[in-house]
């Protein structure tokens, strides 16, 4: 036992004291908190520029106030999504204004017959079958409920992409804690968000095959 | 398992396959693979490593030449209703992560590849070997990715997949109905790829509960039976055959038992 | 300044000899680790499994090691809850063996899934109806308990014990160990049972399916009971081997006797229940689905009726009778033979409940499905053995595993 | 203050504790799982508007109507076209999986010329201009030498626009050697020509027949008319009797109401035996036989020579004798004859066999049954469908070299003194080339649509002959067996990428012209063979160019089809509006103006001594029966493509475990045969025939006649891609040709063989 006591006394002089250890603990703690809450989201998401800064408001005004003038249902019930170049050209075969964005559109896409690589904020992964028909036609929902009032926007928001999953940040939501409503006034679009609304509206979270393929 | 939503009128989609008509041509299988983005490998001769949603089994009556007879049995997922018809299909009840589930509105057993983490318990549970595992990453050589169907997601390595009764066709048919302002689907609005492709007209598909659908009558035919009925899995794939030996090949019987006698006994027990 | 890492008053082999031993086992371990990474990188195509054999060697290994690891919970139950003091002599070792078995089981489970990175779905998206969910939850929880049970022993390493904080932690943990032991026992009853349930609920597989009580098939209870019966046998067996290897007495003879006696009675009651279950299954359950007993034991190259006789009689009734008779268990050779047979019996039982289930044809026009594991599967199944040997070696060398070692080996 | 290891540890612990309170571990766990759900190497097919394009499948002559689903210039899936007059929605697996060939690795994507040795697989990419110039120069050279007739063309069809353009080019250029590959309908079509005087094909009204007597036809085993036959079969009610005569329990036999396992090669004898019973029992259709047929009774020709009639001839084929030869019972033969002729709308079907076309005499014997039943030009009977006439263009002006070349005898002996009625005899070409003393009589060979190095029996001999041809051009869309041995590849587009007319498919009882059209735009540098032929012709200039006054193939097609084009563009098919003529008085264009049981034309000029009767010498397969005691027969399957174009990977996937394992093919043998030769299930064995030997495995099957070895056709490919090649053995390579003395056609229905455990 004497050896042990000797060791304890001998080592006491060599060791850092309790508060130093605690300070180090605190440094580690605070540093990780800061990097986890501030740096991590910046690392996780990349910011991408939309190919053209699209003005929804101008288009809505021109097209009679209806979203489905451009974002329409096909006869077979499928939803067309973002318009194709061909559909854009039906109005924009020549410039309709001197807006630099339109100029860019005409020069880089119309003249070169290239589809515009729009970044879709609400893009769902390939395993999802989202029925616009069921929501818009079946349940009479408004586009704004999920997408926010995008129709009155004059320019496009930043598009952020999760570097690991490739998802648009809108799916998870801007807040890392998924708190509050999204900035655009619509909905977050993780599966739980769908389920929550379905539970409220239909009394059931829904079956897997309702929205998966 | 999710619970049955109370407000929905449920259907029981099912299939009746006329084995006297089936020629074993393989059109149903090929149509299924093309429709559902089923991958393929260079060597597909080991049938236990060959991904498919529909197999056609060849059986014979075991008699000597020239008394021999053959019969083909197409086997998709049987979409079992499970014991007591409550959706407790053998596979659904064992999946630890709800990757496979009983879709109450249609009676179809769903499989969500992105939820599945590949434990393969469902494969151990399925008596029909309807479930297949993605042992490899799928590959489409040359430009073959071009033909992939966007309605069905491609599966990744390490998950289980199986026949879905072409559920995406139901989803699309419903979309069309919504846009046209209809509530109900007609019999022809939703047909599986195999039923549509069968050049002999041997496969009939529809709602087993709907008297207007052909399957309603066919599944109640005196020659109709299902595979391994005695396991109480309650499949929704029915077969018809006028041949006794085919009926006998569809289930297990002890010495001295006959299919009719067992069926009668089961019916009597069910009504009690 | 230097504290000996080896517990005080006991003799251990020279460092060099120990290092050589570790190196030899380490090579086997590395082989297993290589196979493991191969499987994680390339996927399950590296195995001999196929669509008829979704469950194979690994699931068997899982069931077997968990059953054998059952010694930990059952000895804990006897020692802490029933208060059998004699078992204090072996309880540490039982916990270590249990820890090895359970950590191995978890490792194999992590290998055995197609999408390991989604493995946590089993907890997050749990289907409460699935036996596997129950297994996963109980297994993880019980592993946590085993770890907690293991920690105080680790902390008793002279070097660690020197640190006051750890010393006190160890001491306090000892105080509350009974609580953990009780939790462990409760959890174990469930997961051993749910492992039995894994096969027993398969109503599409007449070879495996059993009727039961409420939601639990009879295999649920049989698995728990058999693990409780054979777990201690395995603990005894490993201890006996350790004694042979170290050429020392490590555990008091009365500990062996007590464990053997309890194990014997457990085994006897288990095998009676198992025979009854088999009879009912063969006479009622299977025939109701159109199967006669011999349908499951003929027309294939391996699974003859011999396997049933081996499991029930040779590796069931025989060891049970040896262990319940005083003469039998007092004869060291018979005792060891009985333990070996019992361990073998439970391994056979787990084997048939996994592999024969997959092998047996269901439709009359199907053949038996045969399966051959690949070297990757074998290597990863041996991996836990190597890992276990290393952990046992380290624990034996550096931890006071056997409290009575000093007293049983005077003058060394 | 002292900083040591413990401080560092503390930092780490603090960091770890802090991290658990951030989103890092939780979000990463989730995101990594999501990453596994969207692995970048798992493809995501692009969505878009669906279009459904009606077209026609041209992978075989079946002419089935299809609907192709497309999204953004991607062909997604092929489905049957409902209400199409040919197939009414029914399709075979090959048509359904056509997109796999369209996008698969077997495609030749650009014109290429051989770089290494022949068959070595080394190619050099060239431009189309260079490719066409190469062909023109070579042909021009031969022409200057005065040997235009040394150019031959092998095509898989002699009907439709491509065949027409090729033939027209050869004639303008100066060669008579347009050769069609043999089909299983050759003998049958010849029998139609001889007994009824009709050039064309027999139409079977299966939809309305109530008793179908099939002489080994692979009706449901992957014949080239799968769509029409399956759609008729789909409509059969339980009253329709289908009787299949075949030594193996095929899928057709399996679904037939009755399977009659006669020995292989005895179908003709059995037909005569049935005729014997019908005549003996006076059950034949008196109206037809007495008023519209010739040669039933004995007769005298102009020179006064007496000839036996059908009645006398079948006297020799008593049920007892036929029973012995066929292995059936005489009662079975008698009852079959009675039920056939007593049925309301019986029909006897020949052709479509997996074992070649059979002999002319066999076809005549089977045809006679239809005459006895009087079901010609009747609903549920047989009809005559003439050759397509929509492509006839005015005769062109040609020069002396061309007309001298055209007057040379055909290189395949067809139409020669020995074989006056045969139109094409590709089977004779290898021997002709082999026997040539000096240079091969074919100096340049164009191969379009055909794949003779795979499909010809005894294809080793064919390959040796091809080696002597100095210049081979392949128009194939795929790197098939023949393309692999060519010198120049001029790839044709896939059928989903181009226009093409589809003449009435054989067997169909009415005229239906289909239009195959581009479902997607090709992304490869390929050209339609029609275009290439026109371009080659134009490169010659002068009268050859003038013979091709079309801008391109599409222009030719539109002008040829004239008013039909609009209907075809709109509906995808064109049918004859006029109702079928059902009278017998105008039906026959034979010398007698009647149906001829024993056609005079057959014997005119042949000098055949015993030419008055049908001859059956059925065991005339080459080889020693003692050394080779078994008989190998090929069988076809709907799941294995046995024609020029191979299986798709999906089709191969559907093939049963008892047909191929790894790369080994299984032959089916009866368990009793297996016992005799000490073989058990799955054993490896060596199969020997006079044409060669192969390693096989055995599959014991009660459904195959003892003494036979049945092997699937369509395997053993060496071309296409690694997904197709190398599986099993090409059964045709094991079968030596057997020449039919009556027609010159190859009648080999099998080969003598031995099987020994390996």
Q: Quick check: is D516 in a domain?
A: no
- Whether the pLDDT of residue D445 is over 60: the answer is yes
Determine the average pLDDT of the residues in D647-657: 96
Q: So where are chain C's domains?
A: 15-408
Q: How many CB atoms lie within 10 A of CB C320?
A: 26
D: neighbours with 3+ CB pairs under 8 Å?
A, B, C
How far are the Cα atoms of C160, D335, D517 from residue D526, in angstroms, in the given order? 78, 57, 15
B66 cis-preceded (ω within 30 degrees of 0): yes
What local confidence, expressed as pLDDT, does residue D228 receive?
Answer: 95
pLDDT band at B271 (very low <50, low <70, confident <90, very high): confident
Q: Which residues of D222-253 are buried (b: 16+ CB within 10 A; e: fewer)?
A: bbbbbbbbbbbbbebeeebbbbbbbbbbbbbb
- Whether the pLDDT of residue C235 is over 50: the answer is yes
Residue D257 three-state SS:
coil
CB atoms C118 and D33 under 8 Å: yes
Separation of alpha carbons A129 and C146, rounded Å: 45
Is the Cβ of D335 closer than 8 Å to some Cβ of chain C?
A: no
CA distance D89 to chain A (A): 21
Q: Name every chain D residue with its beta carbon within 8 A of the beta carbon of A22.
A: 10
Residues 104-143, chain A, touching D (beta carbon < 8 A) = 125-127
pLDDT band at C81 (very low <50, low <70, confident <90, very high): confident
Determine the average pLDDT of the residues in D539-566: 93
Percent of chain D with pLDDT over 90: 81
Q: Does domain B13-271 have CATH number 3.30.70.20?
A: yes
Determine the average pLDDT of the residues in C365-377: 95
Averaged pLDDT score across all residues of chain D: 92
- Whether the pLDDT of residue D125 is over 80: the answer is yes
Q: How many CB atoms lie within 10 A of CB D146?
A: 13
Contact B163, B130 (CB under 8 A): yes
Q: Which residues of D54-74 are buried (b: 16+ CB within 10 A; e: fewer)?
A: bbbbbbbbbbbbbbbbbbbeb
Contact D194, D339 (CB under 8 A): no
Separation of alpha carbons C72 and C177, rounded Å: 13
The tokens describing D115, both together, are 């770089």
Determine the average pLDDT of the residues in A23-39: 94
CA distance C6 to chain A (A): 15
Residues 351-390, chain C, touching B (beta carbon < 8 A) = 357-358, 362-365, 369
Q: Name every chain D residue with its beta carbon within 8 A of the beta carbon of B71.
A: 254
Separation of alpha carbons C38 and D461, rounded Å: 49
Determine the average pLDDT of the residues in D28-38: 96
Q: Quick check: is D169 in a domain?
A: yes
Is the Cβ of A133 closer than 8 Å to some Cβ of chain B?
A: yes
Looking at chain D, which residue has its C-alpha nearest residue A33? D18
pLDDT band at D580 (very low <50, low <70, confident <90, very high): low
What local confidence, expressed as pLDDT, does residue D307 receive?
Answer: 82
Q: Name every chain D residue with its beta carbon within 8 A of the beta carbon of C117.
A: 32-33, 35-36
Residue with tokens 């006054």: D549
D224/D264 same-domain check: yes
Q: Name every chain C residue with its beta carbon within 8 A of the beta carbon of B83.
A: 203
What local confidence, expressed as pLDDT, does residue A19 receive?
Answer: 82
Q: Quick check: is D275 in a domain?
A: yes
The tokens describing D122, both together, are 């080394």
pLDDT digit string (tens) for B139-171? 999 999 999 999 999 999 999 999 999 999 999
Give me the DSSP letters along D98-144.
HHHHHHSTTB--S-EEE-SSTTS--EEE--HHHHHHHHHHHHHHHHH
D542/D398 same-domain check: yes
Give me the DSSP letters along D447-505.
EEB--HHHHSTTHHHHHHHHHT-SEEEE--SB--HHHHT-SEE-PPPPGGGS-EEEPPP
The DSSP H or E segment spanning B247 is helix B244-249
Is the Cβ of D36 closer than 8 Å to some Cβ of chain C?
A: yes
CB atoms A77 and B103 under 8 Å: no
Q: Name every chain C residue with its beta carbon within 8 A of the beta carbon of D37.
A: 118
| CA D731 to mean position of chain CA atoms | 15
For residue D252, give its domain range: 200-386+583-603
What residues contact B258, with CB distance under 8 A and at least 6 apart? none
Q: Quick check: is D513 in a domain?
A: no
What local confidence, expressed as pLDDT, does residue B269 receive?
Answer: 85
Q: So where are chain B's domains?
A: 13-271
What local confidence, expressed as pLDDT, does residue B1 receive?
Answer: 45
Looking at chain D, which residue has its C-alpha nearest residue C119? D33
Separation of alpha carbons D432 and D8, rounded Å: 92
CB atoms D77 and B62 under 8 Å: no
CA distance D639 to chain C (A): 22
From the CA atom positions of chain B, what is the Rg in Å?
Answer: 19
C: neighbours with 3+ CB pairs under 8 Å?
A, B, D
Q: Name every chain A residue with its beta carbon within 8 A of the beta carbon of C1.
A: 7, 10
What local confidence, expressed as pLDDT, does residue A2 receive?
Answer: 40
Looking at chain B, which residue has its C-alpha nearest residue A212? B112
Determine the average pLDDT of the residues in C101-118: 94
Q: How many CB atoms lie within 10 A of CB A143?
A: 18
Looking at chain C, which residue has its C-alpha nearest residue A9? C1
Determine the average pLDDT of the residues in A191-205: 93
Q: Quick check: is D495 in a domain?
A: yes
From A77, A203, A205, residue closest to B175, measured CB to CB? A77
- Whether the pLDDT of residue A12 is over 50: the answer is no
Q: Quick check: is D512 in a domain?
A: no
D373/D470 same-domain check: no
D728/D741 same-domain check: yes
Is the Cβ of C23 closer than 8 Å to some Cβ of chain B?
A: no
Query: What is the distance in angstroms between the CA of the first residue and the CA of the last residue of chain C?
Result: 26
Q: Which residue has the higher pLDDT, C4 or A155?
A: A155
The DSSP H or E segment spanning D10 is helix D5-20
Q: Name every chain B residue with its beta carbon within 8 A of the beta carbon of C122.
A: 96-97, 117, 119
Separation of alpha carbons D103 and D97, rounded Å: 11
Q: Which residue has the higher pLDDT, D108 or D422?
A: D108
- Whether the pLDDT of residue C403 is over 90: the answer is no
Averaged pLDDT score across all residues of chain B: 94
- Whether the pLDDT of residue D435 is over 90: the answer is yes
What local confidence, expressed as pLDDT, does residue A81 receive?
Answer: 93
Q: Name every chain C residue with its beta carbon within 8 A of the beta carbon of B123.
A: 51, 54-55
Q: Name every chain D residue with its beta carbon within 8 A of the beta carbon of B20.
A: 255
CA distance D698 to chain C (A): 18
pLDDT band at D376 (very low <50, low <70, confident <90, very high): very high
Separation of alpha carbons D254 and B68, rounded Å: 9
CB atoms B252 and C136 under 8 Å: no
Is the Cβ of D681 closer than 8 Å to some Cβ of chain C?
A: no
What local confidence, expressed as pLDDT, does residue D299 receive?
Answer: 84
What local confidence, expressed as pLDDT, does residue D613 receive?
Answer: 62
Separation of alpha carbons D749 and D755, rounded Å: 18
pLDDT band at D7 (very low <50, low <70, confident <90, very high): confident
Determine the average pLDDT of the residues in D12-22: 94
What local confidence, expressed as pLDDT, does residue A10 receive?
Answer: 42
Looking at chain D, which residue has its C-alpha nearest residue C117? D33
**For chain A, what's the residue count?**
213
Looking at chain B, which residue has its C-alpha nearest residue A125? B153
pLDDT band at C366 (very low <50, low <70, confident <90, very high): very high
Contact C81, C199 (CB under 8 A): no
From D4, D10, D23, residue closest to A36, measured CB to CB? D23
Determine the average pLDDT of the residues in D532-550: 95
CB atoms C125 and B230 under 8 Å: no
Dihedral angle of Cα C24, C27, C33, C39, to the nearest 10 degrees: -130
- Whether the pLDDT of residue D92 is over 80: the answer is yes
Contact C249, C409 (CB under 8 A): yes
pLDDT band at A6 (very low <50, low <70, confident <90, very high): very low
Determine the average pLDDT of the residues in B95-119: 96
- Whether the pLDDT of residue D17 is over 80: the answer is yes
Averaged pLDDT score across all residues of chain A: 88
CB atoms B233 and C112 under 8 Å: no
- Whether the pLDDT of residue C2 is over 80: the answer is no
What sign for the dihedral angle of Cα D96, D98, D103, D106?
positive
pLDDT digit string (tens) for B55-77? 999 999 999 999 999 999 999 99
What local confidence, expressed as pLDDT, does residue D607 receive?
Answer: 44
The DSSP H or E segment spanning D385 is strand D382-386
A: neighbours with 3+ CB pairs under 8 Å?
B, C, D
- Whether the pLDDT of residue D356 is over 80: the answer is no
D152/D250 same-domain check: no
Determine the average pLDDT of the residues in D619-647: 92
CA distance B27 to chain A (A): 23
- Whether the pLDDT of residue C108 is over 90: the answer is yes
What local confidence, expressed as pLDDT, does residue D610 receive?
Answer: 45
CA distance B97 to chain D (A): 14
Averaged pLDDT score across all residues of chain C: 91
- Whether the pLDDT of residue B112 is over 60: the answer is yes
* Nearest of D38, D66, D311, D353 to residue D218 by alpha carbon: D353
What local confidence, expressed as pLDDT, does residue A73 receive?
Answer: 96
Give me the DSSP letters along C102-139.
HHHHHHHHHHSSS-GGGTTHHHHT--TT-HHHHHHHHH
Q: Name every chain B residue with its beta carbon within 8 A of the beta carbon of A203.
A: 5-7
Report the DSSP beta bridge partners of residue D708: D631
From D75, D702, D721, residue closest to B60, measured CB to CB? D702
- Whether the pLDDT of residue B4 is over 70: the answer is no
Q: Quick check: is D162 in a domain?
A: yes
CB atoms D92 and B25 under 8 Å: yes
From B167, B172, B181, residue closest to A209, measured CB to CB? B167
CA distance B219 to chain D (A): 19
The tokens describing D171, both together, are 């004639």
Separation of alpha carbons D317 and D273, rounded Å: 5
Helices D5-20 and A18-34 sit at what angle, rounded to 10 degrees? 40
Determine the average pLDDT of the residues in D157-170: 95
CATH code of the domain in which D662 resides:
2.40.40.20
From C45, C125, C357, residue closest to B136, measured CB to CB? C45
pLDDT digit string (tens) for D312-351? 999 999 999 999 999 999 999 999 999 999 999 999 999 8
Separation of alpha carbons B97 and B122, rounded Å: 11
Contact B164, A209 (CB under 8 A): yes
Is the Cβ of C45 closer than 8 Å to some Cβ of chain B?
A: yes
- Whether the pLDDT of residue B7 is over 90: the answer is no
Percent of chain C with pLDDT over 70: 99
- Assign domain C15-408 one CATH number from 1.10.220.10, 3.30.930.10, 2.70.150.10, 1.20.1630.10: 1.20.1630.10
* Nearest of B75, B136, B77, B150 to residue B111 by alpha carbon: B77
D357/D239 same-domain check: yes
What residues contact C82, with CB distance under 8 A and at least 6 apart? none
Q: Give strand ranges (E) for D548-639.
A: 573-575, 595-596, 630-635
pLDDT digit string (tens) for D261-315? 999 989 999 999 999 999 999 999 999 999 999 999 988 877 777 888 999 999 9
The whole-model pTM stands at 0.95
What local confidence, expressed as pLDDT, does residue D306 receive?
Answer: 81
Separation of alpha carbons D569 and D730, rounded Å: 40
Contact D140, D401 (CB under 8 A): no
- Whether the pLDDT of residue D386 is over 50: the answer is yes
């Amino acid at each position: 036992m004497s050896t042990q006591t000797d060791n304890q006394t001998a080592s006491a002089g060599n060791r850092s004291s309790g508060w130093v250890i605690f300070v180090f603990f605190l440094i580690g703690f605070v540093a990780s908190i800061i990097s986890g809450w501030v740096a991590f989201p910046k690392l996780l998401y990349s910011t991408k520029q939309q190919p053209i800064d699209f003005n929804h408001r101008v288009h809505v005004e021109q097209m009679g106030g209806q979203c489905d003038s451009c974002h329409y249902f096909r006869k077979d019930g499928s939803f067309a999504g973002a318009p194709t170049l061909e559909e854009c050209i039906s109005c924009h075969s020549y410039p309709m204004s001197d807006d630099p964005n339109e100029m860019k559109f005409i020069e880089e896409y119309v003249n070169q017959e290239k589809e515009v690589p729009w970044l879709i904020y609400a893009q769902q992964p390939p395993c999802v079958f989202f029925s616009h028909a069921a929501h818009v036609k079946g349940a009479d929902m408004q586009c704004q409920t999920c997408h926010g009032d995008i129709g009155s926007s004059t320019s496009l928001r930043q598009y952020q992409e999760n570097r690991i999953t490739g998802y648009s940040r809108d799916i998870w939501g801007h807040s890392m804690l998924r708190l509050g409503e999204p900035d655009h006034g619509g909905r977050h679009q993780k599966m739980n968000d769908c389920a929550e609304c379905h539970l409220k509206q239909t009394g059931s979270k829904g079956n897997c095959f309702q929205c998966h393929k | 398992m999710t619970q049955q939503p109370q407000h929905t009128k449920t259907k029981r989609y099912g299939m009746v396959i006329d084995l006297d008509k089936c020629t074993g041509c393989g059109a149903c299988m090929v149509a299924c693979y093309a429709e559902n983005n089923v991958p393929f490998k260079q060597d597909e001769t080991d049938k236990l490593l060959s991904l498919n949603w529909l197999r056609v089994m060849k059986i014979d009556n075991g008699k000597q030449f020239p008394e021999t007879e053959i019969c083909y049995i197409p086997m998709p997922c049987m979409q079992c209703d499970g014991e007591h018809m409550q959706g407790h299909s053998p596979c659904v009840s064992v999946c630890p992560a709800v990757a496979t589930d009983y879709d109450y509105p249609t009676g179809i057993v769903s499989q969500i590849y992105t939820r599945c983490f590949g434990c393969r318990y469902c494969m151990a549970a399925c008596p029909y070997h309807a479930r297949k595992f993605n042992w490899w990453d799928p590959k489409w050589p040359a430009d073959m990715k071009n033909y992939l169907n966007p309605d069905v997601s491609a599966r990744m390595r390490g998950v289980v997949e199986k026949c879905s009764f072409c559920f995406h066709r139901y989803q699309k048919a419903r979309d069309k109905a919504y846009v046209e302002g209809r509530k109900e689907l007609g019999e022809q609005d939703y047909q599986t790829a195999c039923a549509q492709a069968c050049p002999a007209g041997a496969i009939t598909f529809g709602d087993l509960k709907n008297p207007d659908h052909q399957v309603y009558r066919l599944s109640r035919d005196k020659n109709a039976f299902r595979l391994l009925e005695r396991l109480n899995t309650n499949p929704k794939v029915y077969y018809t055959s006028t041949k006794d030996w085919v009926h006998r090949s569809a289930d297990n019987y002890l010495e001295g038992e006959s299919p009719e006698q067992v069926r009668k006994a089961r019916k009597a027990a069910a009504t009690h | 300044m230097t504290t000996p890492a080896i517990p005080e008053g006991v003799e251990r082999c020279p460092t060099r000899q120990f290092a050589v031993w570790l190196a030899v086992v380490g090579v086997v371990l590395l082989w297993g680790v290589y196979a493991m990474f191969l499987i994680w990188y390339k996927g399950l195509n590296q195995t001999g499994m196929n669509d008829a054999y979704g469950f194979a060697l690994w699931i068997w290994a899982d069931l077997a090691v968990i059953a054998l690891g059952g010694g930990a919970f059952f000895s804990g139950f006897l020692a802490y809850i029933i208060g059998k003091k004699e078992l204090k002599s072996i309880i540490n070792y039982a916990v270590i063996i249990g820890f090895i078995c359970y950590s191995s089981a978890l490792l194999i489970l992590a290998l055995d899934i197609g999408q390991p990175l989604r493995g946590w779905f089993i907890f997050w998206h749990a289907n409460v109806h699935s036996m596997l969910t129950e297994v996963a939850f109980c297994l993880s929880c019980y592993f946590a308990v085993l770890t907690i049970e293991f920690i105080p022993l680790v902390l008793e390493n002279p070097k660690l014990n020197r640190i006051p904080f750890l010393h006190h932690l160890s001491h306090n943990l000892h105080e509350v160990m009974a609580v953990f032991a009780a939790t462990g026992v409760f959890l174990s009853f469930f997961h051993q049972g749910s492992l039995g349930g894994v096969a027993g609920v398969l109503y599409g597989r007449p070879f495996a399916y059993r009727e039961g009580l409420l939601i639990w098939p009879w295999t649920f209870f049989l698995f728990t009971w058999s693990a409780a019966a054979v777990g201690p046998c395995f603990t005894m067996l490993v201890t006996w081997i350790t004694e042979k290897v170290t050429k020392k007495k490590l555990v008091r003879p009365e500990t062996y006797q007590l464990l053997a006696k309890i194990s014997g009675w457990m085994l006897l009651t288990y095998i009676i229940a198992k025979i009854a279950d088999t009879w009912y299954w063969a006479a009622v359950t299977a025939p109701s689905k159109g199967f006669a007993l011999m349908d499951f034991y003929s027309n294939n190259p391996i699974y003859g009726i011999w396997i049933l006789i081996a499991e029930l009689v040779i590796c069931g009734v025989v060891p049970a009778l040896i262990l319940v008779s005083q003469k039998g268990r007092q004869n060291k050779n018979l005792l060891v033979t009985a333990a070996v047979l019992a361990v073998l019996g439970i391994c056979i039982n787990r084997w048939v409940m996994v592999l024969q289930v997959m092998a047996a044809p269901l439709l009359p026009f199907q053949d038996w499905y045969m399966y051959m594991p690949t070297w990757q599967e074998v290597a990863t199944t041996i991996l836990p053995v190597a890992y276990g040997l290393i952990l046992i070696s380290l624990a034996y060398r550096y931890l006071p595993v056997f409290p009575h070692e000093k007293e049983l080996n005077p003058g060394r | 203050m002292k900083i040591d290891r413990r401080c560092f540890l503390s930092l780490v612990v603090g960091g770890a504790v802090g991290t658990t309170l951030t989103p890092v571990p939780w979000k990463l766990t989730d995101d990594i799982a999501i990453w596994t759900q969207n692995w970048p190497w798992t493809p995501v097919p692009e969505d878009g508007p669906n279009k459904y394009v009606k077209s026609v499948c041209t992978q075989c002559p079946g002419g089935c109507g299809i609907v192709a689903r497309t999204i953004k210039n991607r062909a997604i899936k092929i489905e049957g076209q409902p209400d199409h007059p040919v197939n009414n929605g029914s399709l075979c697996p090959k048509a359904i999986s056509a997109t796999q060939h369209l996008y698969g690795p077997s495609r030749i994507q650009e014109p290429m010329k051989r770089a290494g040795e022949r068959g070595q697989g080394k190619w050099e990419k060239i431009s189309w201009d260079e490719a066409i110039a190469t062909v023109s120069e070579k042909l021009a050279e031969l022409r200057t030498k005065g040997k235009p007739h040394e150019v031959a063309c092998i095509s898989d069809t002699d009907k439709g626009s491509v065949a027409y353009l090729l033939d027209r080019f050869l004639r303008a250029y100066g060669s008579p050697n347009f050769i069609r590959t043999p089909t299983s309908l050759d003998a049958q079509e010849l029998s139609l020509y001889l007994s009824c005087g009709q050039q064309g094909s027999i139409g079977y009204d299966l939809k309305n027949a109530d008793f179908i007597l099939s002489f080994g036809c692979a009706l449901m085993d992957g014949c080239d008319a799968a769509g029409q036959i399956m759609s008729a079969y789909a409509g059969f009610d339980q009253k329709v009797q289908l009787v299949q005569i075949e030594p193996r329990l095929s899928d057709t036999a399996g679904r037939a109401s009755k399977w009659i396992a006669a020995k292989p090669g005895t179908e003709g004898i059995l037909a005569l035996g049935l005729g014997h019973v019908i005549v003996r029992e006076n059950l034949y259709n008196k109206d037809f036989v007495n008023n519209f047929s010739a040669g039933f009774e004995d007769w005298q020709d102009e020179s006064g020579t007496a000839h036996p009639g059908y009645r006398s001839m079948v006297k020799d084929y008593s049920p007892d004798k036929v029973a012995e030869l066929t292995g059936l019972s005489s009662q079975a033969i008698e009852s079959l004859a009675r039920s056939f002729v007593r049925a309301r709308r019986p029909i006897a079907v020949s052709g479509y066999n997996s074992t070649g076309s059979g002999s002319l005499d066999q076809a005549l014997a089977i045809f006679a049954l239809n005459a006895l039943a009087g079901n010609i030009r009747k609903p549920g009977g047989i009809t005559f469908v003439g050759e397509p006439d929509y492509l006839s263009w005015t005769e062109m002006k040609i020069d002396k070299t061309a007309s001298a070349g055209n007057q040379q005898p055909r290189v395949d002996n067809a139409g020669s003194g020995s074989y006056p009625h045969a139109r094409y005899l590709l089977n004779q070409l290898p021997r002709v080339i082999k026997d040539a003393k000096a240079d091969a009589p074919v100096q340049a060979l164009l191969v379009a649509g055909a794949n003779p190095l795979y499909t010809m029996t005894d294809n080793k001999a064919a390959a040796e002959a091809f080696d002597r041809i100095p210049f081979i051009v392949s128009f194939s869309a795929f790197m098939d067996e023949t393309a692999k041995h060519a010198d120049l590849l001029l790839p044709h587009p896939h059928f989903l990428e181009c226009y093409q007319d589809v003449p009435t498919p054989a067997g169909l009882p009415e005229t239906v012209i289909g239009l195959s059209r581009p479902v997607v735009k090709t992304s490869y540098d390929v050209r339609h063979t029609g275009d290439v032929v026109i371009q080659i012709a134009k490169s010659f200039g002068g009268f050859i160019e003038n013979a091709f006054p079309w801008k391109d193939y599409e222009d030719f097609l539109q002008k040829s089809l004239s008013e039909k084009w609009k209907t075809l563009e709109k509906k995808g098919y064109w049918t004859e509006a006029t109702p079928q003529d059902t009278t017998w008085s105008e039906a026959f264009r034979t010398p007698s103006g009647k149906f001829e049981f024993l056609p005079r034309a057959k014997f005119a000029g042949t000098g055949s001594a015993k030419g008055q009767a049908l001859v059956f010498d059925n065991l005339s397969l080459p080889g020693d029966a003692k050394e080779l005691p078994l008989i190998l027969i090929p069988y076809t399957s709907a799941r294995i493509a046995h024609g020029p174009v191979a299986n798709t990977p999906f089709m191969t996937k559907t093939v049963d475990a008892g047909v191929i394992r790894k790369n080994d093919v299984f032959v089916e043998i009866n368990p009793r045969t297996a016992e005799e030769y000490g073989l058990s299930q799955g054993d490896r064995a060596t199969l020997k025939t006079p044409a060669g030997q192969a390693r096989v495995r055995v599959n014991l099957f009660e459904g195959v006649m003892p003494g036979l070895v049945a092997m699937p056709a369509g395997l053993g490919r060496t071309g296409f891609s690694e997904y197709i090649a190398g599986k099993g053995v090409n059964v045709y390579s094991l079968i030596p040709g057997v020449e039919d003395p009556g027609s010159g056609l190859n009648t080999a229905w099998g080969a003598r063989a031995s099987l020994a455990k390996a």
